[in-house]
Amino acid sequence: MTDEKGIKTEPAVDTAATVEVLASAIAKKGYKAVGRYYSFSKWKQLKPTEAQQLIAAGLSIITIYEDSNDKPSSFTGATGSQQAHQALHLAQEVIRQPKGSGIYFAVDYDASYYDYVHYIKPYFQAIQSVFKEAGDPYRIGVYGNGLVSEHALRDGLVELTWLSQSKGFRDYEAFRKSRKWNILQGNSVKISGTEFDSDTINLSNGDFGGFTNLTPKADS
């Protein structure tokens, strides 16, 4: 697909719900990727069998880490380190997400520049440190408003950006028009009665961090 600017795109969806039984239905609707969660909250975690079913249906998987992550106090260096370790545990030991793919970390509110400098930047610096210590197995992404996406990208804290659907959030329009985003979140859609957020993948920016295979289990 191409949009009105001639940019190559693909449709995707994301949800906090387990969608193992909907894998074929999602693919039949024409979607190419599904965003699912890593978290300390087990109810919204991507499951191994779910990942297998999504891949079997021909879908790419996009992973995003989020606990609360919805106010300034959610973001500290200590929290970034803790969440990065949990993300790596789930990616490597539970899902077997392949190296070189991406993990996005959510900033799920309209963060200001003050918030970015004093809370969110130290949070991502801690994530970057944990990933580096682990050998940089995954590319780091951010889900958030335009302001956070722009500055995290500019400061070299992330490689991937997922622009929140909230059009009234800071710098939404400027970042959308910049085409620097890898994923653009859109309106809600329903598939077989389950609600998803729709997404547009910007293929013109190359790899968006999704994956279509799992790392084989090591021989014991």
Is the domain spanning 9-205 CATH 3.20.20.100? The answer is no
Question: Residue 186: which H helix or E strand, with range?
Answer: strand 183-191
Q: How does pLDDT run across 129-148, given as a tens digit for each residue?
A: 999 999 999 999 999 999 99
pLDDT, position 220? 35
Name the band, by pLDDT with cuts 50, 70 and 90, for residue 217.
Answer: confident
58: pLDDT confidence band, cut at 50, 70 and 90?
very high
Axis crossing angle, helix 146-154 with helix 121-133, rounded to the nearest 10: 50
The first and second tokens of residue 149, run together, are 């996406």
